[in-house]
Chain A
Amino acid sequence: MLDDKYRMQQREVTLPAGQHRFQFWAPTRRIVDTTLTVLPDITRDFTLRLPYSDEYKVYQEQLLRYRNNRKLNRLLPMAATGVSAIVSVSMFVKYKNAHDQLAEDVDQYNSLTSPGAISRLKNETMPAHQADFNKAERNFIISTSITGGLAVLTTYLYVKSARMKVPLFEDKERLSSEGLAWVPGERGGTWAGGFTFDLVKR
């Protein structure tokens, strides 16, 4: 806004010498109200950095929190489920190896020709391998159950995170300024146009 009268959208304007009131605004920025003095036949550079609006800072914080929460609700359970699945696969391999070892023991039993070796196999080796098998089976069931539980939890948290409300940025500064405005959002942003009707009778 220039001199409370003109809405500047063009990039150049000719001003008479003297003081002029400028109100600068940009999307997500705070309106800066300042007065500049235009001197005749003199060129001066004027640089102004518009600070972010408070609403935008709050929005950024909310957006960061939202993204962190979503990551926490999605990536962490997924990672835990993935690790648990890897552990389950590892436990399954051990479980299978333990079973294969028992099957190998049975084959060995059928082919052994030493009664003493047969007795040692049945009374010492196979019970030890059976204990290994039972342990591997227990570990496999536990790890699979944990993986299943984590998978359910992951699904639940994924669905829950999908329903989380995405913070929206309402540029209140924009309301004070007419014209086309860029409103950033979760998936990019939108251009918004606004009008101010002065209904005050002069």
Chain B
Amino acid sequence: MHTIIPVLFAALLFAGCYKDEVAEADLTSNALDPDYDGPPILELISTDTELRYNGFVVIDTVVVFNMRARTDLFPSLISYQLEGVQTNDGTSDITDQLVPTTTEASVEHRHVLYGNTYCMDISVVSVGSNSRSYRFCGTAVQ
């Protein structure tokens, strides 16, 4: 009796000591988490300025952002899209669905003028929602 009680009491206390809390704020390691703070999952390869035609008629000038997605940082192989949102007016451009092995894709900033610099917030779209976005800028050159 005199032995059992302290042993039981100590066992309960020790059993309870190893548990700890989990802080959600510390969870930022998933590359698709909007709060992700690891190495960038998107890299800008280059920017090009291109003309868009309707037949032989130029209808628009765009800055193309050629991107590389670090799919190796994704939690698993997934099909995804890239979406770029123009910072000047909020319009967006989104790629077709990309297969897991595809690492390069482009989004474009429409209605540009030569000599001006344009920025886009580009993110990965997976299962209908966006990852953290990265801002990239490029200048429209003739």
Question: Which A residues form the contact surface with B (CB < 8 A)?
Answer: 81, 85, 88-89, 92, 95-96, 99, 102-103, 105-106, 109-119, 122-123, 126-127, 130, 133-134, 137, 140-141, 144, 147-148, 151-152, 154-155, 158
Chain A interface main SS type: helix
Give the shortest distance, in Å, between B74 (CB) and chain A (any CB): 7
Chain B interface, number of residues (Cβ within 8 angstroms)? 33
A102 to B21, CA, bound (A): 8
Which of A96, A116, A155 is the one whose CB lies under 8 Å from B5? A155
Q: A116's closest neighbor in chain B, by CB?
A: B129
Report yes or no: B75 in contact with A85, Cβ–Cβ below 8 A: no
Further pairs besides A113-B32, A119-B34, A133-B22: 6, Cβ < 8 Å: A92-B15, A109-B30, A133-B21, A134-B21, A151-B5, A151-B8
CB-defined contacts of A112 to chain B, threshold 8 Å: 30, 32, 75
A122 to B33, CA, bound (A): 10
Q: B127's closest neighbor in chain A, by CB?
A: A114
Interface 1/0 per residue, B47-75 and A, CB below 8 Å: 00000000000000000000000000011
Known: A115-B32, A144-B13. A110 touches B129 (CB 8 A): no
Q: 13 interchain pairs (CB within 8 A)? A: A89-B12, A92-B12, A99-B19, A102-B21, A106-B22, A112-B32, A114-B126, A115-B32, A115-B130, A119-B129, A122-B27, A122-B33, A141-B16
Give the shortest distance, in Å, between A123 (CB) and chain B (any CB): 8
Chain B interface main SS type: loop
Report yes or no: A114 in contact with B22, Cβ–Cβ below 8 A: no
Give the shortest distance, in Å, between B127 (CB) and chain A (any CB): 4
A155 to B1, CA, bound (A): 8
Give the shortest distance, in Å, between B37 (CB) and chain A (any CB): 13
Report yes or no: B35 in contact with A122, Cβ–Cβ below 8 A: yes
Report yes or no: A115 in contact with B22, Cβ–Cβ below 8 A: no
CB-defined contacts of B131 to chain A, threshold 8 Å: 115
Report yes or no: B126 in contact with A109, Cβ–Cβ below 8 A: no
CB-defined contacts of A134 to chain B, threshold 8 Å: 21
The winner among A102, A109, A155 for most chain B CB atoms within 10 A is: A109
Q: A105's closest neighbor in chain B, by CB?
A: B22
Report yes or no: B12 in contact with A118, Cβ–Cβ below 8 A: no
CB-defined contacts of A115 to chain B, threshold 8 Å: 32-34, 124, 126-127, 129-132
A112 to B78, CA, bound (A): 11
Report yes or no: A110 in contact with B30, Cβ–Cβ below 8 A: yes
Give the shortest distance, in Å, between A81 (CB) and chain B (any CB): 7
